[in-house]
Amino acid sequence: MRRRKVNITKIKEIDGFSKYEEGCVETSSTGGFFTIISVLLSLWLIYSELNYWLSSQFIFKLSVDDDPNAKLLINIDITVAMPCNSIGADILDSTNQNVFNFGTLEEENTYFELTPKQRRQFDSMVNINTYLREEYHAVQELLWRTNQPAMSFNPANYAKETIDKPFDACRLYGQLTLNKIAGNFHITAGKSLILPRGHIHINTFFQEDNYNFTHRINRLSFGDQSPGILHPLEGDEKFASEGMMLYQYFIEVVPTSVQTFFKQYNTYQYSVKEHTRPVDHEKGSHGIPGIFFKYDISPLKVTVRQERDNIFTFIVRLFATVGGIHTGIGMLNTLTHILWQPIFKNKKAGIVSDIKQ
């Protein structure tokens, strides 16, 4: 069988896309200008679309908390300007159950006045957290994306200086696992004594001059630490003007689930209202001097989910954008030629007549 020669040149000339002959294509400076504009505009929009797709967005959703039997973790680190043997801390939930059965707080005798290094870091934490709270909605998504928690202060990171005077403050710190119901965490004068139906604080021998509930809240949060969650009371510092002072914090705890591309957090955020007043029974201002944190659990849950468009939607939108720019610039170029051509012809005819004359 004879083999036929294949003409490679003919195959190379095969083209499925129709093209204009070079003689039929008219080049112009206007067309080149619009081509450059089209390319630059396409590149800019491609960059914008890509940046928008990569940045993603956070979707907030409210729903009923369907896990009421879960445990509530509370993180506490508070310094009170009274020695540890003069104060006692307790938590009672709405069932009158002392939840110290689920953990205990450590007590550490210390000095209330901070060292210069501690004061610098504490003030930095206060300033940063204050700014973040004021600009909360502008930075919370950045904290979630970068997986960076807000700045915190831990007195344990600093070695205690040796001072030739007795300790004047007590640091209470630790974690407790509570029932997910309303409760009351309080710090008052005198150690507590557990009773079958509650407890009492033995403070009979305390004089008014012995009370000083000046305090500093280094940490007070619920659940695991999570980026983007700011705790309003952290960095709060109160100086008592009188000994018999009552500090009340009313806290609303909201279960929060944060789902980013890299991690999922099940935590809590809270809002707080506070009230301060002196206790003076002679003037009708009754109560027990101390620091009281009354917390309640919201029945609603906040779910924060990081989302972005799927890759196919992004590609379709990208091609539609580039195609629209190309078509629009082409129409503008054609319109410019239609309007410019009569003017150009009239000018050319005028120049020719002048030459003939």
- Domain-located, residue 213: yes
Regarding whether 92 and 195 lie in a shared domain, the answer is yes
Taking alpha carbons only, the member of 248, 214, 213, 254 closest to residue 231 is: 254
Per-residue pLDDT tens digits for 106-116? 888 888 888 88
Indicate if the pLDDT at residue 91 is higher than 60: yes
Cβ atoms within 10 Å of 329's Cβ, excluding its own:
18
Using the structure block, give the residue that is written with the tokens 């999922």.
264
Q: Taking 60 as the threshold, does the pLDDT of residue 138 lie above it?
A: no
75 and 99 within one domain: yes
- Pair (96, 106) in one structural domain: yes
One domain for residues 177 and 298 = yes
339-351 confidence digits (pLDDT tens):
766 655 555 555 5
Q: In the chain, how many domains are there? A: 2
Q: How confident is the model at residue 248 (pLDDT cuts 50, 70, 90)?
A: very high
- Does 4 fall in a domain? no
3-state DSSP helix/strand/coil % of the chain, to nearest 5: 35, 30, 30
* pTM for the whole structure: 0.67
Answer yes or no: do 144 and 97 share one domain. Answer: yes
Q: Quick: pLDDT tens for 39-67.
A: 888 788 888 777 777 776 777 888 888 87
- Residue 9 domain flag: no
Of the ranges 122-131, 297-306, 325-334, 337-346, which is most confident?
297-306
- Per-residue pLDDT at 352: 45
pLDDT given for residue 2 in this prediction: 55
Give one DSSP letter per residue of 67-90, joined into a string: -TTSEEEEEEEEEESS-GGGEEEE
Give yes or no: residues 50 and 188 share one domain. Answer: no
**Beta-bridge partner residues of 80:** 170, 215
Both 226 and 273 in a single domain? yes
On whether residue 218 sits in a domain, the answer given is: yes
Neighbours of 173 (CB within 10 A): 18
Residues 6+ apart with CB under 8 A from 214: 80, 81, 112, 238, 239, 240
What is the distance between the terminal CA atoms of the chain, rounded to a whole angstrom?
77
| Token pair in block for residue 117 | 């290094």
- Tell me, yes or no, whether 5 lies in a domain: no
Q: Please give the pLDDT value at position 247.
A: 93
* Structural domain harbouring 37: 29-56+311-352
Do 153 and 279 fall within a single domain?
A: yes
| Rounded percentage of the chain residues whose pLDDT exceeds 90 | 8
Same domain, residue pair 280 and 333: no
Confidence category of residue 204, pLDDT binned at 50, 70, 90: low
If asked whether residues 191 and 298 sit together in one domain, one would say yes
pLDDT surpassing 70 at residue 288: yes
Is position 274 within any domain? yes
| 12 occurs within a structural domain | no
Residue 340 lies in a domain: yes
- With vertex at residue 114, the alpha carbon angle to CA 111 and CA 120, rounded to the nearest 5 degrees, is 165
Residue 141's pLDDT is what?
A: 62
Q: Which residue has the tokens 């809590």?
A: 268
Same domain (yes/no): 222, 295:
yes
- Does residue 63 sit in the same domain as residue 131? yes
Residue 86 pLDDT > 80: yes
DSSP string of 203-262, one letter each residue? -TT--GGG----EEEEEEEEBS--TT---TTTT-EE--SSSSEEEEEEEEEEEEEEE-SS
Q: Average per-residue pLDDT in the chain?
A: 76
